Chains A and B, each alone.
Chain A
């Protein structure tokens, strides 16, 4: 149960970390507003789910589809209007993305209220499945399945499509990609939009996972997603997947054994920071990153 719950949490981290990792790998942009895409996804899903009537799965599907679309559009718009004019100006990028995260979180609070709102998931999501003698909430299984699908889809995209090859080449040497006559900035927008889609999916699934939506959730998950990206290796999606699983499981186990038994409530967070410190000391480039020449 702990293992699957941890993997479920890791799946949410991965959905946020995948986009962050590609964005940094290709564009060298540390997007502190990436968590907002998760929030946008969650609130879009909630808005659709609470305003559409009918079969709960149709409602869920529409909510999911709407959140992915809005996530892609918002992410592409952020790249085109705020990030693109600031390429290679890293300090300004940090300031703008931090400011955007604060502004959009405040905007969400203004529009929907600061308190969490219950999320109307399909009944199956709130039920449990018996797995190897353990009862596992279905929302965890859904998050894991979604993260697995996103990982597979990204792997196919990166390995077998021209734009995927451009992204892989750009992560290595984007100047040379331009020198081959390729408009690398279009790849930037595409990667941002894909990251927005994955994060919005994470937002919609996090709503089912936690049973509610919360304006602060994007920021909370983002911190762990950044840690996942660093542990996995900047620019590596597969590294982010492994690191997300590790971080989620370790957090759950530490929370259970040190938190529930010994009353140490921040044990999970502390364990994750300890893991980050160990990886940075032993393998600074991350699990799947390449050491600088």
Chain B
């Protein structure tokens, strides 16, 4: 399978802290790749580094093009959708304004977003800061789905959500994954297992495993050591 996204020897430093220490992996075109690891392993930083949101060294290739030195907005315009950890919706803007701001394509997929999240249509004029956590997550995902992206970078979409909302979000991501490649950071292993075919496990800023999810879960010591999963 061809790689849509290639990350090579990625380094990120925050002051004295060497957070990513030569991370390399590939995300194949089509399907979901889960980026796993314990808290502080460097998963969120990896997504931010791919987008150029943090200072980094290393190589990032998207669809064969080297984007390592490109500004964030240029990387995104190549067809990257981003759903950050903690949603980061613009709380002072309305739901409709949040969505409008994300539009890049000439024909944004409002219908798709409103079909997936009817709540967003009903709350179009409401300030995003007054939405519940689940509704904010829907808005954050909706923003990323408005455009026909080549890859979605999704950071812990189920974090802090009620179990019922988790189910809704996972269903939407399952639908999105049928048409768009996804790199998914997820702490909930059950969710990662349901959505992803391949996995990359980070441990202390390095890649500890890259392969299929089945191979990862078949090896109990790996799962226990790097993900804290028992049994």
State whether A176 touches B88 (Cβ < 8 A).
Answer: yes
B114 within 8 A of partner (CB) = no
Residues of B contacting A168 in the complex (Cβ-Cβ under 8 angstroms) = 90, 92-93
The 0/1 profile, CB within 8 Å of A marked 1, for residues 65-109 of chain B is 000000111001100001010001011110001001110100000
Residues of A contacting B82 in the complex (Cβ-Cβ under 8 angstroms) = 179-180
Quick check: which of A15-23, A181-189, A222-230 contacts chain B, the rest being far away? A181-189
Q: Which of A165, A175, A181 contacts B93 (CB 8 A)?
A: A165
Q: What distance in Å separates the Cβ of A274 from its nearest Cβ neighbour in chain B? A: 31
State whether A179 touches B76 (Cβ < 8 A).
Answer: yes
State whether B76 touches A180 (Cβ < 8 A).
Answer: yes
Q: What distance in Å separates the Cβ of B67 from its nearest Cβ neighbour in chain A? A: 13
Residues of A contacting B92 in the complex (Cβ-Cβ under 8 angstroms) = 168, 172
Q: What distance in Å separates the Cβ of B36 from its nearest Cβ neighbour in chain A? A: 22
Among A176, A179, A183, max chain B CB count under 10 A is at A179
* Majority DSSP secondary structure for residues of A touching B: helix
Q: What distance in Å separates the Cβ of A122 from its nearest Cβ neighbour in chain B? A: 41
Task: Decide yes or no: A180 and B101 within 8 Å by CB, A169-B90, A172-B90 being known contacts.
Answer: yes
Q: What distance in Å separates the Cβ of A168 from its nearest Cβ neighbour in chain B? A: 6
State whether A165 touches B100 (Cβ < 8 A).
Answer: yes
Q: What distance in Å separates the Cβ of A177 from its nearest Cβ neighbour in chain B? A: 7
Residues of A contacting B93 in the complex (Cβ-Cβ under 8 angstroms) = 165, 168-169, 172
State whether B73 touches A176 (Cβ < 8 A).
Answer: no
Task: Decide yes or no: A178 and B73 within 8 Å by CB, A165-B100, A168-B92, A169-B93 being known contacts.
Answer: yes
B199 within 8 A of partner (CB) = no
How distant is the Cα of A166 from the Cα of B92 in the complex, in angstroms?
Answer: 12
Residues of B contacting A182 in the complex (Cβ-Cβ under 8 angstroms) = 73, 101
Among A176, A177, A180, A183, max chain B CB count under 10 A is at A180
State whether B72 touches A179 (Cβ < 8 A).
Answer: yes
Residues of B contacting A176 in the complex (Cβ-Cβ under 8 angstroms) = 84, 88, 90
State whether B90 touches A179 (Cβ < 8 A).
Answer: no
B contact residues, total (Cβ < 8 Å): 20
State whether A179 touches B53 (Cβ < 8 A).
Answer: yes
Residues of A contacting B100 in the complex (Cβ-Cβ under 8 angstroms) = 162, 165
How distant is the Cα of A57 from the Cα of B211 in the complex, in angstroms?
Answer: 77
Residues of B contacting A50 in the complex (Cβ-Cβ under 8 angstroms) = none
On chain A, which size bracket covers the interface?
10 to 19
How distant is the Cα of A182 from the Cα of B75 in the complex, in angstroms?
Answer: 10
How distant is the Cα of A260 from the Cα of B91 in the complex, in angstroms?
Answer: 48
A129 within 8 A of partner (CB) = no
Nearest B residue to A176, CB-CB: B88
Among A165, A168, A181, max chain B CB count under 10 A is at A181
A173 within 8 A of partner (CB) = yes
B43 within 8 A of partner (CB) = no
Q: Which 5 pairs across A and B sit closest by C-beta, in order of nearness?
A: A181-B76, A178-B72, A169-B90, A181-B77, A176-B88
- 27 A-B pairs, CB-CB below 8 angstroms? A165-B93, A165-B97, A165-B100, A165-B101, A168-B92, A169-B93, A169-B97, A169-B101, A173-B88, A175-B72, A176-B88, A177-B101, A178-B71, A178-B72, A179-B51, A179-B72, A179-B76, A179-B82, A180-B73, A180-B101, A180-B102, A181-B73, A181-B76, A181-B77, A181-B102, A183-B73, A184-B73
Q: A169-B93, A172-B92, A181-B73 given. 19 additional CB < 8 A pairs?
A: A166-B101, A168-B93, A169-B90, A172-B91, A175-B53, A177-B101, A178-B71, A178-B72, A178-B73, A179-B82, A180-B73, A180-B76, A180-B104, A181-B102, A181-B104, A182-B73, A182-B101, A183-B71, A183-B73
